[in-house]
Amino acid sequence: MNRNLLVSIIVNNYNYDRFLKEAIDSALNQTYPHIEVIVVDDGSTDNSCGVIAEYGDRILPLFQPNGRQGAAFNNGFAHSNGDIIIFLDADDYLLPNAVECVVAAWKPDIAKVHYRLDVVDADRQPRGFSYPQGGSSLASGEVWRRLLQIGSYRGVPTSGNAISRHALAQVTPIPDEYRSVADDYLSVLIPLYGEVVAISEPLAAYRLHTNNQWALVTVSSDRFRRFVQHDLQRCELLTRKATALGYTVPEDLNLRFFGRAWSRLASLKLDPEHHLVPSDRSLVLSFYGIRALWRYSDFNLPKRTIFTLWFVWVGLMPRVLAEPAIVWLFAPQFRPKFVGQTLKRLRALVS
């Protein structure tokens, strides 16, 4: 372990006073000693400023008018000194050994280390799963190759990433057009600047609650429209940046990832009138989703078979029958017990 590395933990907060203390405490109480904690408050109107004031000079507080996540990241990074940067969402928290494990895994010239996230509820109670779901392994190594092949890789949300200062300097400041999706902006671009190291154990907790921007605590058509818009923006960003760096990007990049296909299919099924891609058709999206599963995914045979059946069912069935399958896929906490038992039997049959 290189104990000379300085790690900057940048807590970004907007109106999360009920969670903020736990996030700051988790940053300050790391077993690794060489850290600085920066708290960026993005124009909160609750008691966040009072919470921050309690810490005095133990943290560097930064207060700014509401500029969304991108502005908070830019401000925090500009005031940081660390060799490694962790952006910690104020509704999440780090485990005590998180930074120590990151530093132990750190190597020269890597772009980032990412690690699993335990999923908890608003009261810190475990939800029974972690990210990535299903025990899937995080991407590692030359992740940029996978990224340019399908426009995605297996990663985790903001609080599960420790990013090289050098890599961050290549892509910041984050443009204003990505101010609401700054975490995904970094997820897309950072692997283009070095290898990625994965830690298989959870080192932080991701909190599900009603104000999460992306977490599906409820399933609705407007959430899926946001996912579709986000995916379109992500592919456009990757194509533009990778092309500028001299890489070749496939023309069908936006439908090579099965997750992108099922988000668009779900959006189309739940609310076709407001779906963002007017040319989309259910059976065509089902075809692309199945193609992505069998040609580009690294899923095993049971998972490919189960998700193929999902695409066939949702693609063919009317909304009243397709909607339960959509809900049970995207929000596992709502699955009836018989669904889980059926999935286990299906896995056994195709193993």
Domain holding 72, by residue range, is 7-207
3-class state of residue 22 by DSSP: helix
Name the packing angle between helices 258-270 and 301-316 (round to 10°): 20
Q: Are residues 64 and 160 part of one domain?
A: yes
The Cα–Cα gap between 329 and 315 comes to 14
Contact 185, 70 (CB under 8 A): yes
What CATH number should be reported for the domain holding residue 174?
A: 3.90.550.10
Predicted local confidence at residue 131, as pLDDT: 77
Shared domain check, 286 and 171: no
**pLDDT by residue (tens digit) across 90-117?**
999 999 999 999 999 999 999 999 999 9
Q: Are residues 81 and 182 in the same domain?
A: yes
Residue 152, token pair as written in the block:
């995605």
Q: Name the pTM for this structure.
A: 0.84
Q: Look at residue 212 and tell me if it is in a domain.
A: no
Mean pLDDT of 78-99: 97
Show which of 150, 178, 207 is a domain's final residue. 207
One domain for residues 102 and 57: yes
Considering the chain, what percentage of its residues have pLDDT values greater than 70? 90
Task: Read off the pLDDT of residues 138-194 as tens digits, 9 standing for 90 and up.
Answer: 999 999 999 999 999 999 999 999 999 999 999 999 999 999 889 999 999 999 999
The domain total for the chain is: 2
Cis peptide before 65 (omega within 30 of 0): no
Q: Are residues 123 and 232 in the same domain?
A: no
- Considering the domain architecture, whether residues 125 and 266 belong to the same structural domain is answered as no
Whether residue 75 lies inside any domain: the answer is: yes
Report helix, strand or coil for 61: strand
Residue 216 lies in a domain: no
Burial of 6 (0-12, 13-18, 19+ CB in 10 A): middle
- In this structure, of 18-32, 268-282, 320-334, the range with the lowest mean pLDDT score is 320-334
> CA of 330: how far to CAs of 33, 158, 275, in Å?
39, 19, 18
Would you say residue 325 has pLDDT above 70? yes
Do 291 and 143 fall into the same domain? no
Q: What is the pLDDT of residue 210?
A: 64
Please report the pLDDT score of residue 331 as a whole number.
65
Residue 336 pLDDT > 70, yes or no?
no
Q: Residue 214: its pLDDT value, please? A: 45
Asked if residue 277 belongs to a domain, the reply is yes
Please, how many CA atoms are within 13 Å of residue 279, restricted to the half-sphere of its CB? 0
In a domain, 239, yes or no: yes
What residues pair up with 87 in beta bridges, in sequence order? Answer: 10
One domain, residues 116 and 244: no
Residue 116 lies in a domain: yes
Is residue 215 situated within a structural domain?
Answer: no
Whether residues 24 and 173 fall in one domain: yes
Helices (H), 274-336: 282-295, 301-316, 319-330
Q: CB under 8 Å to 140, separation ≥6 — which residues?
A: 195, 196, 197, 198
Residue 147 and residue 83 share a domain: yes
Residue 308 falls inside a structural domain? yes
- Residue pair 179/70 in contact (Cβ under 8 Å)? The answer is yes
- Determine contact, residues 313/322, Cβ cutoff 8 Å: yes
> Is the domain of 197 the same as that of 251?
no
Residue from 290, 267, 287 nearest 277 by CA? 267
Q: Cα–Cα distance between 14 and 6 in angstroms, integer?
A: 26
The residue out of 156, 180, 207 marking a domain boundary is: 207
* 329 pLDDT more than 90: no
Q: What is the pLDDT of residue 221?
A: 81
> Which of the listed residues 180, 207, 234 is the one where a domain comes to its end?
207
Q: Identify whether residues 151 and 238 lie together within a single domain.
A: no
Residue scoring higher pLDDT (113 or 212):
113
Taking the mean position of all CA atoms in its chain, how far away is CA 28?
24
Which one is predicted more confidently, 306 or 1? 306
Percentage of residues in the chain having pLDDT higher than 90: 73
Burial class (CB in 10 A: 0-12, 13-18, 19+), 278: exposed
